Chain A
Amino acid sequence: DVKVTQSSRYLVKRTGEKVFLECVQDMDHENMFWYRQDPGLGLRLIYFSYDVKMKEKGDIPEGYSVSREKKERFSLILESASTNQTSMYLCASSLPTGSNSRNQPQHFGDGTRLSIL
C-alpha cells in the first residue's frame, strides 16, 4: 500500500512564526502535492513538485514556499504564519503522468490540522 506520512496531525503556532510541515512518501513517486482544505472551499492546490528540486505554483501559493531536496520528502513552509492560514493541510503523491502512466491517482496523507493563534 502507498504510504504518505505527514509529520504532525495537529499543530498550534503563533502569528508571525515560520512553520514547517513535512511529508514523506514511501512509493518512489515522482509527483508530490500540497493542498489545503477548508469548509465550503473544498480542496485547493498550494504547490506541487514533479521531481527533486522542481516545484510549480498551484492556485494559492501566496504566503507559502516548498522544498524538495529528496524524492521522498516534500516540505511546506509558511514564511510568516497568519491567522488566515489556519486550515487542514494535505499532502499527496502520485506516479508521473505521460503516455505510459496516465491517470495515476493521487494518494493522500492523513493531514495536518494547523491552528495559527
Chain B
Amino acid sequence: DAKTTQPPSMDCAEGRAANLPCNHSTISGNEYVYWYRQIHSQGPQYIIHGLKNNETNEMASLIITEDRKSSTLILPHATLRDTAVYYCIVRYPLTNFGNEKLTFGTGTRLTIIP
C-alpha cells in the first residue's frame, strides 16, 4: 500500500469547515483512499473512501485531485464531537485474504475550538 503524509495537528473553529489534507504521491492506479477517525478511548470509525471521483456521505466529503497524488477530507460544519485523530489510508482493492489488514500512520490530531 502507498505511503501517506498528513500534518500532525490542526485546529478548526466550531461551525466552520474542517479541511484535512493528505499526500499520497506514490499512489497507483487502482488504490483507493480511505479515511478513518479515532476519538479518544474509542475504536476507529470509518468515514469515507474513494478512487478517482469526489465522494460525499452524511459525515464528510472527499476531494481527490485529478492526478490522485493528494486528497482532502472535508467536515462541512465541525462540532466539538469531531475532535479526534484522523487517518488517511491508501490501499489496493482487496483481492485475496492476505491483504485485509489496515495500517494506520500517525494521522492528524484535529481539535475543534469552541
Q: Nearest Cβ in chain A — how far from B60, in angstroms?
A: 13
Per-residue CB proximity of A60-99 to B under 8 Å, as 1/0?
0000000000000000000000000000001110100110
- A116 vs B101: C-alpha distance when bound (angstroms): 26
Q: Determine if A102 and B93 form an interchain contact, defined as CB atoms under 8 angstroms apart.
A: yes
For B41, the chain A residues whose CB sits under 8 A away are 110-111, 113
Point out residues on A near B: beta carbons under 8 Å.
4, 31, 33, 35, 42-43, 45, 48, 50, 56, 58-59, 90-92, 94, 97-98, 102-111, 113
Q: Known contacts A50-B97, A97-B100, A111-B41; can you find 17 more A-B pairs with CB under 8 A?
A: A4-B43, A31-B100, A35-B102, A42-B105, A42-B106, A43-B44, A43-B102, A43-B103, A45-B100, A48-B97, A90-B43, A92-B44, A92-B102, A98-B95, A105-B49, A106-B46, A107-B46
Point out residues on B near A: beta carbons under 8 Å.
32, 34, 41-46, 49, 93-98, 100-106
